[in-house]
Amino acid sequence: MTPAAQHPASPSNFREFHAMFPDDDHCIEYLAAWRWPDGFVCPRCSGRTADRLKCRPLWECRGCGRQTSATAGTVMHRTRLPLSRWLYAIWQIAVRKVSISAKQLQQEAGIGSYGSAWALLHKVRLVLEEHDDAWLLHGDAVEVDETKIFGRGRPGGRIGRGLSVGSAWIVAAVERYERSRGSKTWQASGSARVEVIHDTTTTTLCGFVERSAERGSLVVTDGWPAYNDIVTRGYVHEATVLRKNHQLAKTVQPKVHLFFSNLKALLVGTFHGIDVAYMGRYLNEFLYRFNRRHLGARLFGYLVRRVIQGRWTSIPGLHPESAG
């Protein structure tokens, strides 16, 4: 019994959302189906049979009697908010072109305080992190570049190379694929990785490349000398010194620059400047969605599964290149 078997992959409008999740009981059943897609598993004795308690959202193992909730150990554990609010937030993250802000969530889902809406969204973002055992990038090339993001914070006080309080360096790597059909050729983006960094030294940038891309990949950079060491670490390096020539930059590294401009549109357009202390969490959400952008309506189920299973699980077809 999977949710997909009982429901559409994703509600396509508010009426369908409310029909799927009219009350907490329906939410619990939906979450339980994603938590235990092959049926209940007791966390104590691994027993496979349980009875759902009548008055509380708990399953009691027939083997050892342990009572378990579908949300135990997840970011929803002991939440005071109705579960439909959580599912609404996850649904909106899945279906919106960019994202949903805490203010929007508070208003649309009728959450009492801005703080509760903010915390809910940040908890979801925390579990969207790509884990180190995820696939490594390869592609026909991997474009790597850094950019500075400006957020909220006190102006002034410098905290690093060209970095003031309220700004953060991030580094990204984006797969590039060469495509052709007949005489037509074009370049497509594959998957990406992104991290907050505190400096742009060889140790930091080459370390990022090693965590992100398969050895042997062709790595395309803007010729910043800190990348030169990737050759000794087993990569093929194509460095083009750009000297602030933005037109040339778009030709040499089109995909990573597109990635940055979409990311900045999200941060500025939806969140109106963010506290850079939480930059990593916003990057989690952006990257999770970017790497699964081909899933369409199935993204909602993927998000719910990630939140209710609370940790990475290897999912066949997760890589966008193989997910079609």
Name the residues that contact Zn ion, by CB under 5 A.
Answer: 42, 44-45, 47, 61, 63-64, 66
Q: Which pairing describes strands 236-239 and 218-221: parallel, antiparallel, or unpaired?
A: parallel
* Beta carbon of residue 63, minimum distance to Zn ion (angstroms, whole number): 4
* Beta carbon of residue 128, minimum distance to Zn ion (angstroms, whole number): 30
* Beta carbon of residue 46, minimum distance to Zn ion (angstroms, whole number): 7
* Beta carbon of residue 73, minimum distance to Zn ion (angstroms, whole number): 15
For residues 23 and 19, what is the distance between their CA atoms, to the nearest angstrom? 9
50/83 with CB nearer Zn ion: 50
42/206 with CB nearer Zn ion: 42
For residues 95 and 97, what is the distance between their CA atoms, to the nearest angstrom? 6
46/203 with CB nearer Zn ion: 46
Tell me the CA distances in angstroms from 323 to 25, 36, 270, 313, 320, one per residue in order.
Answer: 32, 23, 28, 16, 5
* Beta carbon of residue 49, minimum distance to Zn ion (angstroms, whole number): 9
44/293 with CB nearer Zn ion: 44
* Beta carbon of residue 59, minimum distance to Zn ion (angstroms, whole number): 10
Which tokens sit at 178? 């060469």
68/217 with CB nearer Zn ion: 68
- 179: helix, strand or coil: strand
Residues 6+ apart with CB under 8 A from 106: 113, 114, 116, 117
Other residues' Cβ atoms within 10 Å of the Cβ of residue 83: 21
63/225 with CB nearer Zn ion: 63
Which tokens sit at 256? 């990573």
Which of 153, 151, 133 lies closest to 196, judged by CA? Answer: 151
